[in-house]
Structure 1
Amino acid sequence: MSIPRIHIVTLGVSDLARSRRFYEALGWKASSASNEGIVFLKGGAGVLALYGRQALADDAQLEDRPSGFAAISIARNASSKAEVDQWFNAAVNAGATAIKSPQAVFWGGYSGYVADPDGHLWEFAFNPFFVFDARGNLALPD
């Protein structure tokens, strides 16, 4: 059996150009594999893809039914509280909506939430119990 991996997270977006500008302002780099219908953003070991919301619904053969809270967040883990603050402020300055300002949390860390221009929820967190490997990837214990 192969090792489970997440290779691509695809976000359905209402305005591809706007979303590309937003994520590039946060330091993501678009791949030359991108085209007018999809943007592939390189980030560490994984890829964040931006795809038209309706096109994504059509591809999955689902009805697009926008709602409030989608019960999912994407997390980016920092090496310090200061880095969380830096990422949070950069996202808000790039057009994100502040959802929860960075603060100490019950599990012993520090985190805050923003929503991207399409409402996708991002958590920026510092977890003092997590370590990173030499490549900057989260190194969870076995």
Structure 2
Amino acid sequence: MEPRISLITLGVSDLERSRAFYRDGLGFTLRPESQDGIAFFALHGLWLALYPRDALAEDAHLPPSPAVPGAFPGFTLAHNLRTRAEVDEVLAHAVKAGATLVKPAEEVFWGGYSGYFADPDGFLWEVAHNPFIWIE
């Protein structure tokens, strides 16, 4: 298997709300392949998909599970930036767009600077500056 991820799909409770958050709030570009029941966004070689949560569970042949506000979803998405100032700017932009600030940016144990926000469904995004490596 080639070590590559092409698409991340988030099971969302309200597709239109989430589409608006990512497109209008965060400024992600909605791909033309999007349809009424699914939204696709391009992220520099990777796609982010938004799909109704119950339909995503059905597609995987699993019972649907409710999103639990405030509970850790078991994974995070990360957005790495070149400077600490950019981290603060992106977190402020996300909150203005409707995200919930989960952890304000701060110096972290590994020597970087990061904070977290949650999207409307509680999916966590880490916004970080790592002075030791750059992930394109």
Alignment TM class, shorter chain as reference: over 0.9
TM-score (norm 1): 0.89
**TM-align CA RMSD:** 1.1
Query: 1:64 deviation in Å?
Result: 1.5
Letter in 2 for 1:129: F
Secondary structure of 1:101's aligned partner = strand
Residue 57 of structure 2: aligned partner: 57
Q: Distance in 1 between matches of 2:131 and 2:113?
A: 9
TM alignment of 1:81-120, pairs within 5 A:
81-120=84-123
Higher relative contact order (CA 8 A, sep 6+): 2
Residue 27 of structure 1: aligned partner: 27
1:72 counterpart (65, 70, 75): 75
Query: 1:131 deviation in Å?
Result: 2.4
Q: Which structure 1 residue ranges, 5 or more long, are not aligned? A: 138-142
Secondary structure of 2:78's aligned partner = strand
Query: 1:3 deviation in Å?
Result: 3.0
Residue 13 of structure 2: aligned partner: 14
Question: Using a 3 Å threshold, how does the CA distance of structure 1 residues 101 and 51 change in structure 2: closer, same or farther?
Answer: same
TM-score (norm 2): 0.93
Q: Which structure 2 residue ranges, 5 or more long, are not aligned? A: none
Letter in 2 for 1:37: G
Count of matched residue pairs = 132
Instruction: After superposition, give the CA deviation of every residue in 1:56-99 in whole Å (9 maximum; x if it has no partner).
Output: 01101111223421220000000100111111011111111110
Secondary structure of 2:88's aligned partner = helix
* Greater mean deviation of Cα atoms: 92-101 or 63-72: 63-72
Instruction: After superposition, give the CA deviation of every residue in 1:82-135 in whole Å (9 maximum; x if it has no partner).
Output: 111111011111111110000100100000001100000110000001125xxx
Secondary structure of 1:119's aligned partner = coil
Q: Distance in 1 between matches of 2:134 and 2:16?
A: 35
Secondary structure of 1:56's aligned partner = helix
